[in-house]
A = this chain, B = another copy of it.
């Protein structure tokens, strides 16, 4: 059977402060600049999740994208949307909320929950001009 890749984009709004608590304020300011402003800021994030697998010959799907959407809503958006990524999310404790780290954390959150297909890519857009992608490597 042909192998294809299907992608679902979802969005969420969240606040964050790019800040490493192992470093002092001056070090944070020196590394992260305005991204470490003390009272935080936020973004409209766009999340693109791609899964890869054989197309089911009867159904015609690699994976039902409504099921992938539901999984993203339950496992990711329910926790991240309208949240503060530094303090509100248990599975982001100890994660400096850079786009790279968020993409890896979302990958780890999803990896064991896709059946019948392989998680291929998690790409997170922080703005229309900045993104990070993790492929599990």
Interface residues of A (CB under 8 A from B): 2-11, 13-16, 18, 20, 22-23, 31, 33-35, 37, 39-44, 55, 58-62, 64-66, 81-84, 86-88, 95-101, 103-104, 127-135, 137
Given contacts A9-B129, A59-B31, A39 and B96 within 8 Å (CB-CB): no
Residues in chain B near residue A40, CB distance under 8 A: 15, 40, 42, 84
6 contacts across the A-B interface (CB closer than 8 A): A4-B132, A7-B133, A8-B130, A13-B41, A60-B96, A60-B100
Q: Which residue on chain B has the smallest CB distance to residue A107?
A: B2
**Most chain B CB neighbours (cut-off 10 Å) among A2, A33, A127:** A2
A99 CA to B8 CA, complexed, in Å: 12
